[in-house]
Structure 1
């Protein structure tokens, strides 16, 4: 546990214990300066709502091509590099690209994640959620993350990618590998295992790509393999794999985390839970408030490409910046009583959980749909939610970029009709 009295300058923002409970640190940094140069690393922490919004709107000064620049923060250990060499090299595509390349990549998959397309999936999402709840509702207890929150979005994204349901366990393992890699605090054995899983993912999908070249299906892989945008060359395998990797992680991990966070928040605030149960029309706003208060993509990197100044702080060209969505979403200048959980908050949807500007989350409409269906199904079928006192207390996984529980064991009863 990090001491609340410790001076900011003495704290390591990447300390796992701080990452597992970062809220006091976020607040103190934001109050010290909306743009704060962390003295031990030289990284600029962007924490206020207004400063984060400025950075997100200005991709020319604050580039998403941060992956290669991060080499200055430390190369992977030799043991990890030895495993990774058996796979495909990383390349910049959607999340780690800027226009015009970024627009070309996004155009390949925009249709699959459009609001119009997502609306056609609602009945199917409801059916998956119903099946998952029916498996657990008679038991009175469940581990909500692995038994409901993960399988729901994972099934959807696997179907979008044209994978059979029997491969869902593989998709979960691969997601865990990518999440460990993104955490920035994994042990060496965990890093090596993550590299092995990523290589396994790459070879699996490289084979699927070759299959779709010969025999296209109605899925995203076929769209990517056979697409040519505005007369440009087709994507190569490394670019396709990069896109598929981003779709897999963004398409299930963050949504699962948000669903679990929402149930945990409702358990912690029984009056808010009762309010939503009485008035299910509040569920869409519940979704927005959960995304604001428990932002699953807590932070993201940007590379400053030219000397800049934001809210009185100078940022030299070449500086690495950490854009703190989670801190911005608790900024009192934007959200009154920002630490409070209010399912009727008037401006909850103004959050930055999905980013802003050209890099606004591609899957935002699908994530919102899945969360709405998840809460409608859980609150419509179950009642009496509580943490399972017989199970270990849930903990947040330490991660530089993501925010989520390692599990959520709960008890409940069937809701009377």
Structure 2
């Protein structure tokens, strides 16, 4: 069990590709298990995960991506790069603002509540409802070249472009710079679940952080005086009790919105299309009963959570499931494990499109830090699947092209490529 968990943390491709047997064994034998390799407790039962997520008095979100071990690969690479005079300007950015701001994902109450209240309007249902025609048009535009062929690579040709374009439009930036935004997003999310990156990847991270902050910092200044109907304007003009957000908070928020607004939805769309290709009967079920599409998405989130789980830190000596946790120790609360807990979900390793309690999954977290963009992600996925099924059919895997390689993260789980064939609906 320990060896398998260590393999997952080490980002072994086989373990990342199918971590669920590891989670199942942990849940049965050691549901609150300390990992020496991770330097944290691993939490796999649904009820335990829910307990930790909801108790903000005992558990902090200040380090949601895990223990900040000063001797891991990221820290060592930073030490080495700090010796390079040419990198000084990038370290200045890292130390000065968004990299260190406790905001939303990595903030505790009451700051988290203040920040969330300030930007809730950016994701209000009426705003997202108004985005539906835009989401439909973006999807149609992406499907146009797909209709001219008989096969596609799902990630690069569809699953990246859709959420990347939508979050750019929602933020209020031009889509001509999508490649740059995607580069920034990939570089900024790189440390998540990847504690031992190469020095080149850490250099790219620092360079992208500076580029992001300069670009969006200028836009924030502009939108403070000339706001429009977009997320950047909402953030730039946000106030709670006559108190504005500071620059570091605003930049960190926009960074989280850009990254979370595309990375997780890309993985969700890829997983859903993979499921359609694996189960040939699903297409007909969804076409004959379109109302099932929403539950198809929820079951997809339960079955393969794009975010495997995040971390919490104990604020005090406490217990979870009768296991003693010391103040300062971290817990990896694994959504993907909770989502397959047989105490909650019958036949959890089966994909059941009509599962009645599929929406009880924890793919978007739960409690105080429930994903602020969950409604947008669901809306994008629903429109994407509806239009996909209206344009192509008989989706099948092209096995000779598929290597089934996953991104190098034990927290984020997504295929690098997925090749499928299909017939175009005339």
TM superposition score normalised by structure 2: 0.91
The answer to whether structure 1 residue 46 and structure 2 residue 74 are counterparts is no
Q: Distance in 1 between matches of 2:376 and 2:32?
A: 32
User: Compared with structure 1, are the counterparts of its residues 190 and 316 closer, same or farther at alpha carbon in structure 2 (3 Å cutoff)?
Assistant: same
The answer to whether structure 1 residue 393 and structure 2 residue 403 are counterparts is yes
- Structure 1 runs not aligned, ≥5 long: 1-5
Which residue of structure 2 aligns with residue 274 of structure 1?
Answer: 284
Q: Distance in 2 between matches of 1:296 and 1:194?
A: 22
The answer to whether structure 1 residue 59 and structure 2 residue 70 are counterparts is no
Deviation of 1:88 (Å):
4.0
Which residue of structure 1 aligns with residue 221 of structure 2?
Answer: 210
Deviation of 1:46 (Å):
0.9
| Number of positions where the alignment pairs a residue of Structure 1 with one of Structure 2 | 410
Q: Secondary structure at the match of 2:313?
A: strand
Q: Distance in 2 between matches of 1:322 and 1:265?
A: 27
Map 1:221-240 to 2 at 5 A. Answer: 221-232=232-243, 234-240=244-250
**1:168-196 Cα distance to aligned partner (Å, 9 max, x none):** 11111111112322231433322222222
Q: Secondary structure at the match of 2:106?
A: coil
Which residue of structure 2 aligns with residue 160 of structure 1?
Answer: 170
Q: Distance in 2 between matches of 1:67 and 1:261?
A: 24
Which residue of structure 1 aligns with residue 93 of structure 2?
Answer: 87
Find the partner of 1:373 among 373, 383, 386.
383
When structure 1 is superposed on structure 2, of 168-177 and 108-117 the one drifting more is 108-117
Which residue of structure 1 aligns with residue 131 of structure 2?
Answer: 121
Which residue of structure 2 aligns with residue 253 of structure 1?
Answer: 263
Which residue of structure 2 aligns with residue 349 of structure 1?
Answer: 359
Q: Distance in 1 between matches of 2:226 and 2:380?
A: 31
When structure 1 is superposed on structure 2, of 6-15 and 207-216 the one drifting more is 6-15
Q: Distance in 1 between matches of 2:143 and 2:424?
A: 10
Which residue of structure 1 aligns with residue 198 of structure 2?
Answer: 187
- Structure 2 runs not aligned, ≥5 long: none
Which residue of structure 2 aligns with residue 106 of structure 1?
Answer: 116
Q: Distance in 1 between matches of 2:66 and 2:204?
A: 24
Which residue of structure 2 aligns with residue 314 of structure 1?
Answer: 324
When structure 1 is superposed on structure 2, of 342-351 and 389-398 the one drifting more is 389-398
Q: Distance in 1 between matches of 2:63 and 2:331?
A: 9
Which residue of structure 2 aligns with residue 3 of structure 1?
Answer: none
User: Compared with structure 1, are the counterparts of its residues 382 and 12 closer, same or farther at alpha carbon in structure 2 (3 Å cutoff)?
Assistant: closer
Find the partner of 2:9 among 7, 14, 27.
14
Find the partner of 2:151 among 141, 146, 156.
141
Equivalent pair of 2:395/2:420 in contact (CA under 8 Å): yes
Equivalent pair of 1:12/1:40 in contact (CA under 8 Å): no
Deviation of 1:126 (Å):
1.2
TM superposition score normalised by structure 1: 0.93
**1:16-61 Cα distance to aligned partner (Å, 9 max, x none):** 1133432221111111122111244441101111110111110111
Deviation of 1:227 (Å):
2.3
Deviation of 1:372 (Å):
0.5
Q: Distance in 1 between matches of 2:6 and 2:401?
A: 32
Equivalent pair of 2:392/2:423 in contact (CA under 8 Å): yes
Equivalent pair of 2:31/2:45 in contact (CA under 8 Å): yes
User: Compared with structure 1, are the counterparts of its residues 86 and 296 closer, same or farther at alpha carbon in structure 2 (3 Å cutoff)?
Assistant: same
Equivalent pair of 1:300/1:324 in contact (CA under 8 Å): yes
Equivalent pair of 2:312/2:333 in contact (CA under 8 Å): yes
Equivalent pair of 2:122/2:231 in contact (CA under 8 Å): yes
Q: Distance in 2 between matches of 1:290 and 1:381?
A: 21
**1:315-364 Cα distance to aligned partner (Å, 9 max, x none):** 11110111100010011111111111111111111101111111110001
Query: Which structure has the highest helix share of the two?
Result: 2
Equivalent pair of 2:66/2:310 in contact (CA under 8 Å): no
RMSD: 2.0
Deviation of 1:295 (Å):
0.3
